[in-house]
Copies of this chain bind each other. A is one copy, B any other.
Amino acid sequence: MSLDAFLNPRSVAIVGASDNPDKIGGRPIHYMQKFGYTGTLYPVNPAREQVQGLKSYPDLASLPEAPEAAIIAVAGSAAIAAVEECARAGVKAAVIMASGFGETGPEGKAQEAAMRAMAHAAGMRLVGPNSQGLANFGNGAILSFSTMFIESPPQDGPVACISQSGAMSVVPYGMLRARGIGLRHTHATGNDCDVTVGELAAAVVQDPGVKLLLLYLETFNDPENLAHAAEIARDRGVPIIAVKSGRSEDGKRAAASHTGALATADRVVDAFFERHGIWRANGMLELVHAAELYLQGWKPKGRKLAVISNSGATCVLSADAADRAGLPLARLAPATETRLKEILPSFAASSNPIDITAALLSNSGLFGDVLPVAGNDPDVDLFLIGIPVSGRGYDYPRYAKDAGAFMRESGKAVVLAAPQAIVRDAFVAEGVPAFETEDEAVAALAQFTGHHAIMAAAKPAALAPKGPSGDVRTRFLDEHRSLSLLERHGLPAVERRLCHSLAEAQAFQVHVGGPIVLKACSAALPHKSEHGLVHLKLADADAIARAWRDIETHAAGLGVALDGILAARMASGARELIVGGRLDPMFGPVVTLGDGGILVEAMPDSTLLLPHFDAEDVRAALMKLRIAPLFRGVRGQPPLDVAGIARAARAVAGLLIEGGGRVTSVDVNPVLVSSDGAVAIDALVEGTEPEALC
């Protein structure tokens, strides 16, 4: 269902309309009259004849038509009554500003559910409650009471911002307006009881005027719609940058006390955003600091940087900053350096960073001469111009003009780092994004190009099945059945036999021809090693007999009936990895890949994958680990088998998905990896009904 009635309503009723433009019920009317709304406004206030110069109506039923949208600016139970009245009147879209609902506890959540049910029954949608409202500056539909639109007058522009928090909807607005950037949309959705940030994002990103979408999320409640919005955005080439706050433990605690936000495993949020090409910003600064770059519409082929400055120190600092930000410096072709040598004085550096030196003082055209030469170099994608000192004696308006002309003619990404405002202003006037320091300029380039890369690599994720969100009783499969299930999904498991007699185990050892392991096998014993139920390196019949009796004694002592005793070949390989997976209540199947061993909890080294993924995705994920060198080969050893690890990861994902919700967690620990394979040694499958898959 379209959200057009929220974003472009033909008419808007204001329930609780106020004549005072500083009241919640007065401000939207004031804004819409002031900022060019051309639809019809219907103030509803039984106590007044007129509101802010408009005829006021006693109730919704008295209006001459069903308003397309309604603002509910009354509080508490009056808000609930107003929702009912709106539903009855045929309103399509209602924005509930009142707080005191879902954010206060279960009772408020129940009231939200009731309002949503009323609305849906009548074909109406709700934004809020606890919403500061929606603002579309493209058509003046300002269904919002934010004070920021007084403090920083709006200007229609290419940016859209959607936030659950009212404050964080207008913080980016204010920061961008202070930099002269216009916004088309500034929406605060509040508690998302019906329309979510994700659903609104999917609608907003279809507005052809929107070139950049900023999101602020405190609660992750609707990954499907957000994934859908991201897909539309990628099709349209619109980058999405998102802050999801509550990353830290203290932040989660604060968010819980602020909005009752569900804690979401933060690393899954990271993986989800990256998977969908959404850049995760760490805070409000990162959300907006590269906006000028995004709005240029640059399509850099790569992320190799050229630095050009009249100061050697700036060249050094820029190279350091690029290194910190992970931006490689371009290596100039010999032909480029030759050409630069012709332009620059003999003592200047014609390699990158390009130090044009104080020769700039006698030749103000040097930036303009050097830029096209470096621009023609095949290795250069990005340009940083550094001007640490300027003013008297420096023709910086000329430098700015030359840089702007190069930028427009070449379509290349160019930014300036200059501590002096006069210099930055001159470049900004030419359209060149400008920053105070090298670090800020380079960070913006790194984000912009990094975002470009994840957008290009993005693809949809399997968001179902989902894990249970509350406390649910789960059961385990025993080790043998767990391994067999994984084998069926393509992961080789260690050679083994589930034995019911000592003779069987002894025969297995003879068959194997080497040492074996005996382990108690029971779904009731998911964690065996603490109980003396595992015996290693059994190489003859006597040793096997002793171990068999020991396991039987210990199992009897624990009062556990065994499914049998599992005999397995003693396997060895180059490295133990752990491959695990679980159904997240929000994000569905999530697979974890990591280094194994006894120190894994104290020194974790793992990464996440969201299905579906292929061997290349697994390779990319492994390259994020500390042990990444092992997958390229270390000290003459052959590389560990990535294809084998990919089979393991895909088996775990496949089992979770096939389980359809009945398998909630899979743990393969260890997977023994060598240069030509990966074999599951131990595994544990858990779920509400895991045996249904066997």
Contact = CB atoms under 8 A, between A and B. Distances in A.
B421 A250 contact: no
Given A147-B389, A392-B22, A635-B601, A104 B347 contact: yes
Interface stretch (A42-50, A436-444, A535-543): A436-444
A445 to B, nearest CB: 15
B389 A171 contact: yes
Indicate how many identical chains form the complex. Answer: 2
Nearest to A249: B323
10 contacts: A147-B392, A151-B422, A166-B389, A171-B388, A175-B436, A218-B316, A247-B323, A258-B312, A285-B437, A285-B439
B391 A317 contact: no
Interface of A: 22, 104, 146-148, 150-151, 165-168, 170-171, 174-175, 178, 216, 218, 243, 245-251, 253-255, 257-259, 282-286, 311-317, 319-324, 329, 347, 349, 351, 353, 355, 388-394, 419-422, 436-440, 598-599, 601-603, 626-627, 629-630, 634-635
Contacts of A22: 392-393
A313 B634 contact: no
A171 B419 contact: yes
B420 A319 contact: no
A132 to B, nearest CB: 10
Contacts of A627: 599, 603
B250 A283 contact: no
Given A284-B419, A285-B436, A254 B319 contact: yes
Contacts of A254: 312, 315-316, 319, 349, 353, 355
Contact of A258 (B243, B286, B355): B355
Most buried by B among A171, A316, A329, A353: A316
Instruction: Please name the 4 residue pairs, one residue from A and one from B, whose CB atoms are nearest each other, closest first.
Output: A248-B323, A258-B312, A602-B629, A165-B313
Contact of A634 (B253, B353, B390, B599): B599
Contacts of A629: 599, 602-603
A265 to B, nearest CB: 15
B420 A174 contact: yes
Contacts of A322: 248, 250
A389 B314 contact: no
A419 B391 CA distance: 29
A392 B20 CA distance: 13
A516 to B, nearest CB: 24
Given A171-B419, A216-B313, A311-B167, A320 B389 contact: no
A318 B559 CA distance: 52
Nearest to A175: B419
A391 B250 contact: no
Contacts of A320: 245-248, 250-251, 282-283
A282 B443 CA distance: 13
A106 to B, nearest CB: 15
B420 A312 contact: no
A577 B420 CA distance: 50
B602 A319 contact: no
Contacts of A392: 22, 147, 150-151
Most buried by B among A216, A320, A419: A320
